[in-house]
Structure formats: C-alpha cells, structure tokens
Amino acid sequence: MIDKKRVLDEFFQLVQVRCSTHDEREMGDILKKKLQELGAEAVHEDKAGEALGGNCGNIVADFAATVPGRKTVMLTAHMDCVEPCADIHPILENGVIRSDGTTILGSDDKAGVEAILEALRQVKEQKIPHGPLQVVFTVSEEGGVHGSQHLDQSLLHADYGYTFDTHGHPGYMTYAAPGKNQILIHVKGKAAHAGVEPEKGRNAIIAAGKLLAAAPQGRLDEETTCNAGTITGGTAANVVAAECTIRYEARSRNKEKLAKLTKEIIDHFEQGAKGTDCEAKVELAPDYDPYAMPLDSPAIALAKKACDKLGFPVQLEESGGGSDANHFNSYGIPTVVMGVGMTDCHTKEETILEQDLYDACELALGIIKEAAE
C-alpha cells in the first residue's frame, strides 16, 4: 500500500518546481538526488541538454536486481512542462487537483514522475523483490519529443518499458502512435511600397494564403493527420510582404502514408508557388517514427496482469500523439504508454483526480512486482 500523504505532498512539491523545456536543471538535480537516495547503483546524465541548447540532460538510473534472471524493466517520464509553469499553486478540492487557474497544473508529466518515485520508495522500504530496473527521466519532451531523440542510447539496456505519460485512468494504455514530420515553408516574394507602387511587389502572405486554401489539412484518414499551425510574415501594413513562413506538421501511424503525405505537402507548396509569382523553399525536420506494438507483446501482457491484480480495468488504444515511447521503440525497447489520469493537459484547466495519482503509483509498483514473478 502506497503512502498517500507522502505521494500528495511530494506531487505538490514537484509541480511547484518550474521546469520549462530547455530549463530543467533544478528538477534534474532534485531527481538525481532522490534516485541516489532510493538506492540506484548508478545515476547518469547524458549530453542531450547541450545538443538542444538546454541546461540539463536526460537522467538514466540503474537499480540492481534482487531477483536474478529477470528481464530489465524501464520506467520513464518527462521532466519538462508547457508554459505557463512558473508559480504554480496546486489546489485539492473534492478529490480533484488543479492549479489556481493562472497556470497549468503540471500533472503532465509530474504525475508520471511521482508514480515512479513512490514505486521505487515502496520497493526500498518494504524490501520488495525485483528484477533489474532502469528509470529514465527525459528533458524537452514537450514540443517535439527532442530529449529522448537525443538520448545516449548506450545507457539503455532494458528489455521493455513503460512511459507514464498520457490521459486516462491507470489501466489505460496506448500501444501504437504516429510518426511526425515538421515542415517549415518559406514563401518569398518582393517588397514594394503598398500605397505608391504595389504593382512592383509580390505579396508572400497572399501567395501563402492561396496555397494554404488548397493544401492538405486536418484528418485525412483514421491514422493520418496534418496541420498548418502558424503563419508569420510581413513587416508593416504599408509594405507588400516579401516573406512569409508557415509551420506545418504531418502525422501518421503508417510510415508509408507519412512519407507520401509529407512529399505531397512539399510538392504542393514548391510547385504551387510558381503560379503565384513567388517562390517556396521547404525545410523538413522529422521528429519521430511511428510504432505499433503487438497486443500480445510481453510488455502489454505484464502490464495487464498488474492491472488485473489491482482491479484496474484495462483499455488498449491507438494514439494520435507522440511521446518518448516513439523513440524508445525505435531504439529496440518495446515501450507502452500508461495513463496517469491527467486531463485538459497544456491548458490552465488541467486537472488530475487524487485517486488517479495514487493508482498510478500502485500500477508502477505492480509492474515492478509482476516482472519479478
């Protein structure tokens, strides 16, 4: 049985630590100390922060087995939060935890962090037998899953893993997720005085608008989507806009569909721009590949057994979003994403049920126990 008061107190403490993407240093130091106190035989920090222009790397901790001959289980969560994540004031009311409404709450993903910490604490205090464990706390997950993308793979040796980082009550799991490509489109025209000689200009914003109106958008099928997220350009209302930039993304759980859609978007803008008297240059930045775990995979089977023993209903779903699990799966570590109860993430309305917080801790502990049997 987990220590509910300790869990709640520590969760409240963690969410009050500002942990912006690329500025995870304070949280990283706190977690390294906690992992050492919990008995990790080694705690590593890689160089991902340097590669990304941040101040903290991914943290990887190893816990030696007390039961020999077992598979190595990896538990992961990410440290960073979306903005605004400074001066968070968590409130518990009627079994629901929220912020005071001026910030996010930070259960994405401090709830996942807390689930792992409490599970490890129970293992140590109760001397629970366990196989070899790896714990990975990543940086820069928000905005592109870049921390795990730059993780030092030589530190990893797990057989399968669990990323505690999605909505849904504990027992909810996602076993498949899309790959994603970032597409940056630069439309170039020609500046001119908008009131004196607009005829001499070529408006990049107008060209971009015409191209966007005919571009792929939204849900294309059950596993494929794309979105034009931002558009910026121009310098002043009295100047014909010489430049415009569009930030696009394409996603699909099918790698071939993702490649085809990405090419379609690139061709649409590069070729279509010729009919607008403007030019378009495209930059492609792949974020992560899709993955799909077999429903009978050992990782899912073990998690289902843990849920059954705890009485948590199991719900297996395909996801429309990516996570650190995309990269872990690409590194050869079958990893399923576990629900921790977070709702309305990335908004000031974010909440988590108090009971879900406790249940996530129970499930992380249950997975460790099940892996030892």
Q: Which listed residue (24, 46, 109, 141) is catalytic?
A: 141
Confidence of residue 332 (pLDDT cuts 50, 70, 90): very high
Establish how many alpha carbons lie within 13 A of residue 371's alpha carbon, considering only the half-sphere containing its beta carbon. Answer: 32
Assigned token pair, 252: 């699909």
Confidence of residue 231 (pLDDT cuts 50, 70, 90): very high
Assigned token pair, 122: 């129970």
For 123-150, what is each residue's pLDDT tens digit? 999 999 999 999 999 999 998 899 999 9
Q: Which listed residue (80, 114, 359, 362) is catalytic?
A: 80
For 21-76, what is each residue's pLDDT tens digit? 999 999 999 999 999 999 999 999 999 999 999 999 999 999 999 999 999 999 99
Residue 370 catalytic?
A: no
Residue 80 catalytic?
A: yes
In sequence order, what are the beta bridge partners of 316?
A: 173
With a CB cutoff of 8 Å and minimum separation 6, the contacts of 311 are: none
Kindly provide the residue ranges of all beta strands, DSSP E only, lying in the chain, ordered along the sequence.
42-45, 59-63, 73-78, 91-93, 96-98, 133-138, 160-167, 172-177, 179-188, 218-221, 224-233, 243-252, 279-288, 291-292, 315-318, 335-342, 351-353
Predicted pLDDT of residue 143: 80
Assigned token pair, 256: 């071939």
- How far, in Å, CA of 281 to CA of 207, rounded? 13
Report field, pTM of the whole predicted structure over 0.75: yes
Assigned token pair, 316: 């297996």
Predicted pLDDT of residue 1: 81
For 235-286, what is each residue's pLDDT tens digit? 999 999 999 999 999 999 999 999 999 999 999 999 999 999 999 999 999 9
Q: What Cα–Cα distance (Å) separates residue 288 from each residue in 214, 328, 329?
A: 27, 10, 10
